[in-house]
Structure formats: C-alpha cells, structure tokens
Structure 1
C-alpha cells in the first residue's frame, strides 16, 4: 500500500494519521477500518491509536498498549454487554478503547484489585502527563463507571470516581447573513438543498444522510428523523420554502432509497463529500471562518432563540436529552447583549 502513517494527538485524543495521494482504491480500503475519519482541515485520514492499527501500519508499539490476559477478557465481556444493550457501534468502539487504555495502564495488576486511587494515578500519570483533553478523560470515566457497574467483584467505589471539570466551550455560530451567503453559494441544486436542509431543520450530518423520501411528510410539513442519536425518533418542522426546493431536487435526481445519494444509486451520500460541499461554499462566499456542518446546526438553534422561540421547544427540535445541553445557546445569543450600552460610549 502506498501510504504513510504516524501517531498523533488529534483534538487531544491519541490517533494514527494516514497519508496517501487521492486514490479510490485506497479510500475504499481505509474506510474498512473501524472509526476511520477524514480531517477536512488537516487533509488526512485518521484512526484510533490501537495495537492492531499500529501493527498494521508497522508503527512501534507502546508498552501501555498491551493489556494482560484478564484485561483482554474484561474488554471482551464489556463489548458483549454493550452489544446486548444495543449501543451504537461508535459508542461501543469508543468505550472499549477507553477501557482498554485504562486497563492496559495497570497491566501488572489484577482487574479486581484496581482501586479509586488507581483511577487518580491514571489521570495524573497518563491523561495529564500526555496533555490529553478533559473530554477524553470523561470518556474514560464513562467507560470505567459502566464497566465496573457490571462487574460484581471490584475494589472500586463507582460513585466516588470523579469527573474532570467540564470545559465551558461555546458553540460556534454564524450570522444570518453568513448562513444566507453559504446557502446561496452553490448553483448545484443537490448541494444547495443539502446545506439548506441541515440549517432549516437543525440536523446533524448523519441525520441528513440517513433521510429517505418517505421521511418527508409534505401534508403535515414535518421531517421524521428515524433512529437518530441515542436511538430516538423525533420530528422537526419543514418550511414551505425548503419543501419547494426538495420537490425541484426530487424531480431532477429521482433518488432510489436515500433522499440524498452519491454516485452509486441506493447508497447514501458520502459524509466526507458533504464536508467538501460546505468547504467549497465557504470559499465561494468569501467566509474565512473554519465552519463545519455542525456550525449550521448551532446557528439554527441560536437564531431560533434570538427570534423568541422557547428554549424547551428548541430542546425538542434538537433532540437533546437534557435542557442543560440546550441552555448553552443562551450564552452565544446576541439579542440581549447588543442592547447593553458600553460605558466607553459615554467617555
């Protein structure tokens, strides 16, 4: 294979970056790896930093990547539990890799003898020492708590496993003028409709690509989102303006299975290609911000809030379990902030 690989920290998470010239055969091959992702900003593919992936790309193994036999059995038990509970494949991969990282750090100890003090030691000597993010640390905590709840014989007191202090990162939001410029940038009706539907309904990228024509209810003016994040169905309102765009698009493309299909009929549009569609729109609109597809969802929520929509309705529309998740948009809304007069103006 004509590719090169190296270990990296990607968004403060250990990953393996894979570099190769654009080639359909290699792209298809890299997609067969679990949790393979394309970075639009860095222009490389990246994979979980696992022993298997290191061996595949002939990278040196780190001593912490090899769990003991009990650890391997524990991870297998944990994976079967997650499968039986019907967790998503992404969650299963994330939790198992997190548990593996933790258990292999203590590969000289019995799993049953690991204590709360060991959790603190792992945080200080691995997480902090390697400058890993608090979100990665939180993933580890989630895996630890869930795993040790299903294990009967343990020395860990689950309720005393502490979480890192949550980072207060505000969502990135575009102005209405910027959104309009992005949505008008493309002449291609498919590209224009995909981006417009994400913004107008506040969709996640995966939710858009999973849509089928039957999920568009033109009689009730709603979109049915099936089995979205958290395996929940929900409905969102469909604007008449978007409905007209969808009708024009459907007449032209006549999709077979999914509402938006790629070059192969019956297969959903590629997520990486959709990210490129947005990137091209940003360039055409002369917007230099490093906007992502999720920025459109953030902008939808913030603009709803600024127009007076109740936060409880926004929570339902976005599919958030907790109102606290939705409340973060109150911190980026400029409706009330713009009414505050700076004392500088009176000088």
Structure 2
C-alpha cells in the first residue's frame, strides 16, 4: 500500500493522519490539501477531519455513528423533514453532511443548549482555523439555519446567524474559437453530441444527463428540461445543427430510457465519465485552462449577450430565479468593452 490513513487527535483537534513512503511527489500532493501539516512527534502528515478528506482517503467509518444518540436522532429527523419537503437528493446529502459536521463538533453538548455563541465558536475554531472556504462555511450556515427552524426548544436565534461575505467572482468564459475547437475535436459521436448539447442549450451537467429522448421536440425545435435546479421545468431552443447531430447519434446508439445512457441500457451516464469526455477534448485541443463543463454554460450565456439577446430571455433560458444572477454575465461580455478606447492609445 502506498499510503494509509486513520482518524487521530492532534492538540485536541480531530484530524486525519496520513502515512506514506518518503516520496517527494506524494509530499507535494498532500501539501496541496488545505490545512495539511507535518507532525514531528507522530512522524506523519495530518489534514483536517472533513467528509471531503475522508472520501479522498477512503476512510469509510461513518461520522454519524460517532455522534451522540441525540445527534443521530436529530440527524434522522432532519433527513425525514428534507425528504418530506422534496428537496433534491444532492441537496439532502449536502445539508446532512454539513449538519453532521456541526453536530459532531458539539457531540458532548445537549443540542437544546446550543446557542448563537456556539455557532460563532464553531466558525472560529473549526471553519476559520482549518482555513475552509467561504462556500463550505455557507453550506454549514444554510444547514444549521434550516435545521434549527425545524427543531423546537432551542436557544438559537435564527436571524442572528449570519452568512459569510461571498467573494464576487466572475464566471469563466471561453472564446467562440475555443468552444468550437472543444466541440469539434471528438470523433466519437456520443461524446461530441453531449458537449455540443451542453453549450448550444446552456445546460447544467445534471440536466443533460437526465434528458430523455422524448424531451427533444424536433417539430417545435425545442428541448424540454424537466425538473432542473429548483425543481423547475423550462424550454430552450434547439439548433438545427444539433438536431442533425442528435439524429446521427440516435441512429447509432438507440437510447431507451435516457438520451445518454451508461454502459448498461437504461442507466444514467456517469457525471465522472462526462467530465473525462471534456478532459480528453481539452488535451486534444492543447487548452491549458482549468475548463469545467459549467464553463460551456457560462460561455453560452455570454455569447448570447454579446450577440444582442435580451438579458430577460437569457434569464429564462438558463432557468435563473433572479435577474441579478444573470446580470453577472454583463461583467464578462467584451462587446461594450471593445468600443472603449484606452487613453494609452493617444500617448
């Protein structure tokens, strides 16, 4: 075995100890993990005890078994509540994992006695101390706020639990030439069709993978996206070029249940495999940028805006609840910027 991992205590903190051969490549890799430290006393590297790191090092021990009986009971109730409200499986999983981390931190304390000061202490001693991201902190906050709204006899004041300030990041956008290279490089019809459909319709990865053959309406030239993010249905225009590609793909693969199926008929195509499809395309194109599938969706929206499409229509096509979410693409569109002359040119 190249490495082994186990749960340890380090200065009263829960950590994951990782032991491996003295290999510089492995050392460089573990240094890239946020919060990684070397223990001279224990003669091992150790990293923060998070669910992400447990999965990374395949520590299969379930954290809910380490919770107090009360914590396990509340976690189960929260799971039932989320399921009854028909939250998506991914949201339920994210919220339960976030709440599990919070309850595990306070496993020695009666849940009814947890106060806002404890939430602040958790943020300081767990989130900030381990240098976790603001998005991870926001997940914890969302789960805790929602959880305490469903639990009675608590000393928590929901309104006083504040979210971390979000960094204002611009969406990553590719040029039309880069998109064209990525979409055309694959000779495999199935792989090419999947990537082309994501860009041409501005789809999320999960939306593409859950499309069914009947969702392609060739008569009206539209794609029906059912139960997308937020459990919303929407439609998006279907390009005639994509329709021709889809017909060619359908003749070759004849999908039954899902438009793009896995190795076994009737199964959903793996998100990991779809990411590999993009990765291979990038390698063939020699594109060094850390492109993700979502970049194609961002590029779709930005290119629509630059071609003169009204922002309101783009909002509908993307399935955004708020126009403020869609407005972020105005900050990366180069259409207006190209008309601005730099004073440097007059020097």
In the superposition, the TM-score normalised over structure 1's length comes to: 0.82
* Equivalent residue, structure 1, for 2:278: 278
* Gap regions ≥5 residues in structure 2: 8-13, 19-32, 34-48
The RMSD of aligned alpha carbons is: 3.0
Distance in 2, Cα, partners of 1:247 & 1:136: 42
2:236 partner SS: strand
Deviation string 1:30-65 (CA, Å, 9 cap, x unpaired) is xxxxxxxxxxxx9xxxx9728997997378x99x99
* 1:5–1:57 Cα contact (<8 Å) kept: no
Tell me if structure 2 keeps the 8 A contact 1:260–1:268: yes
Q: 47-56 vs 251-260, which deviates more?
A: 47-56
Deviations along 1:276-328, one digit per CA (max 9) or x if unpaired, are 11111112222111111111011001111111111111111111122222121
Match of 2:312 in 1: 312
Which residue pairs with 2:191 in the alignment?
191
Asked if 1 retains the 8 angstrom alpha-carbon contact of 2:200 and 2:239, the reply is yes
Q: Given that residues 7 and 49 in structure 1 are in contact (C-alpha distance below 8 angstroms), is that contact kept between their aligned partners in structure 2? A: no
Return the offset for 1:221: 0.7
Q: Secondary structure at the match of 1:171?
A: coil
2:51 counterpart of 1:49 = yes
Aligned to 2:252: 252
The 5 Å alignment of 1:20-169 reads 49=51, 57=59, 66-169=66-169
Q: CA deviation at 1:219?
A: 0.8
Contact kept? 1:51, 1:66, Cα under 8 Å: no
Q: 1:243 — aligned with what? A: 243
- Deviations 1:54-99 (CA, angstroms, capped at 9, x unpaired): 997378x99x994322222211111111111111111111111111
Structure 1 distance, partners of 2:161, 2:105, is 17
Following the alignment from structure 1 to structure 2, what is the Cα–Cα distance between the partners of residues 325 and 293? 19
What is the aligned residue count?
A: 311
- Superposed CA deviations along residues 150-180 of structure 1, whole A, max 9, x for unmatched, are 1121111111111100111111110001001
Unpaired segments ≥5 residues, structure 1: 9-13, 19-41
Which segment is superposed worse, 321-330 or 189-198?
Answer: 321-330
1:344/1:211 Cα in 2 relative to 1: closer, same or farther (>3 Å)? Answer: same
Larger Rg: 2
Partner of 2:336: 336
For 1:55 and 1:279, the matched residues in 2 are separated by: 23
* Cα shift at 1:107: 2.1
- 1:5 is displaced (CA, Å) by 6.0
Kept in 2, the 8 Å contact 1:201–1:238? The answer is yes
Q: What do residues 165-214 of structure 1 show as CA deviations (whole Å, max 9, x unaligned)?
A: 01111111100010011111112221111111100000111111111111
Task: Report runs of 4+ in structure 1 exceeding 6 Å deviation.
Answer: 50-56
**Cα distance in 2, alignment partners of residues 329 and 112 from structure 1:** 44
Separation in 2 of the partners of 1:280 and 1:148? 45
Change (3 A) 1:337 1:238: same
For 1:110 and 1:298, the matched residues in 2 are separated by 45
TM-score (norm 2): 0.82
Indicate conservation of the 8 Å contact 2:304/2:314, yes or no: yes
The Cα of 1:117 is off from its aligned counterpart by: 1.3
Identify which range, 97-106 or 298-307, moves more after superposition.
97-106
